[in-house]
Structure 1
Amino acid sequence: MSDEPARLADGMTPAPRERARVLGHVCEHAGCVKHGGFGFARPRQEPHWFCFEHRDDGERYL
């Protein structure tokens, strides 16, 4: 592997920064406003999102 940073090929342009952001999932635990990085859902059902601290609360949605 090279230590050089990756570069786009000639003629290519980078994607706009607004497309390269994290989705805005917020923890569903009452009173928590942290990022909900852990999603729980059964197939074809709406997902529920929880932070690291409250991820055990999501088990009831499986």
Structure 2
Amino acid sequence: MSDEAARLAEGMTPAQRDRVKVLGHTCERDGCGKVAGWGFARPRRESHWFCYEHRGDGDQYL
């Protein structure tokens, strides 16, 4: 893999890239409210989010 930047074809412009934003998920455990980085869901079902400490609680949604 090269460290050189990829070149776009003539007339093309690069797509705008915003920094990745936190989606604002918070832990669903009662009384916690920490930032949740672990999401659990079955296909076509609503996602449930838990923090690192309570991520084990998400197993019930798999």
TM-score, L = length of structure 2: 0.70
CA distance in 2, matches of 1:36, 1:56: 12
Q: Percent identity?
A: 57
Radius of gyration: which is bigger? 2
Decide which structure has greater helix share.
Answer: 1
1-structure distance, mates of 2:32, 2:61: 18
Task: Kindly report structure 1 stretches of 4+ aligned residues shifted beyond 2 Å.
Answer: 11-17
**CA-to-partner distance for each residue in 1:6-62, whole Å, 9 max, x for gaps?**
9xxxx8696456xx3111000000000101100000000000000000000000001
RMSD value, Cα: 2.5
Q: How many residues align?
A: 58
